[in-house]
Amino acid sequence: MKQEDHEAKALATFGRKYTFIHEFLDQYFPDFGPYHRIILHHQRGIDLIKAAFPQEDHDMIQAVAEQHIRDDQNGLMPYDWREFAMTVDEVDRLISEITQKPPRRLIKKMREFFPEDF
């Protein structure tokens, strides 16, 4: 979905657009296209939003982000990237082939967010 569609649905459901949540989740779309979802479209990504915005209502962050993710992931709400159909390495190789940019860009980004796993 486009950001304005996520915002419209959040407004209808929760009474507010929650732009900051949608921007956070989709911040890597310009770099990785639809494959950006493997970075933050899961529960561990939501946990990062909560940490980045401690002053916001965490229950609302959870609900809005879950709605965003389920809309983008055909109703699925994964715990982390390991529940995606492709591995991070496979997605990284695919992005490199499509963009003709050096490999490991996705893995580098994942390491920034989840250093214990990469």
At 21, the pLDDT band (50, 70, 90 cuts) reads very high
pTM of the model: 0.95
Residues 6+ apart with CB under 8 A from 72: 1, 37, 41
Give the model's pLDDT for residue 100: 94
Give the model's pLDDT for residue 101: 94
Torsion sign, CA atoms 30, 89, 63, 48: negative
Residues 6+ apart with CB under 8 A from 28: 36, 39, 40, 109
Cβ-contact 60, 18 below 8 angstroms: yes
28-86 pLDDT tens trace:
999 999 999 999 999 999 999 999 999 999 999 999 999 999 999 999 999 999 999 99
Give the model's pLDDT for residue 64: 98
Give the model's pLDDT for residue 5: 98
85-99 pLDDT tens trace:
999 999 999 999 999
Give the model's pLDDT for residue 83: 97
